[in-house]
Structure 1
């Protein structure tokens, strides 16, 4: 089951990257948006937070950091749309 999702996830990447590039105005904002999408910041942050920087069982500090980051990205994305 998990093996069949890998080609689907890889096929979406060019579409998302071109959508981001076409919907951000100045070149600095465009480069920053593409970098955020391609580097998968959330995966890197979650690995460090849930792996070693937060106590197991509840992962309270990691959950707070991830929710704040997600909220910030939603605000930034809403700012790019307007």
Structure 2
């Protein structure tokens, strides 16, 4: 409950944690990046590497995907707050 109250009083942009963080995500609206152990609510996430070269690429990709999802959700006014990414790369 201490972390939950901290998220309400001092909000953050992203939360990195395990499956138990989904309740914090639901209650506070803070996007959760599931990278820690245990992950019970996603299929086969325990098989993905988190260490070494492949693990570092996966962690970076997961964090960037969540950031881009948040940007897409929060930037909706055309020409004012929207961001354009080259989708052909």
Does 1 or 2 have the higher relative contact order (CA < 8 Å, sep 6+)? 1
**TM-score category, normalised to shorter length:** 0.3 to 0.5
Q: Which has the higher helix share?
A: 1
What TM-score does the superposition give when structure 1 sets the normalisation length? 0.43
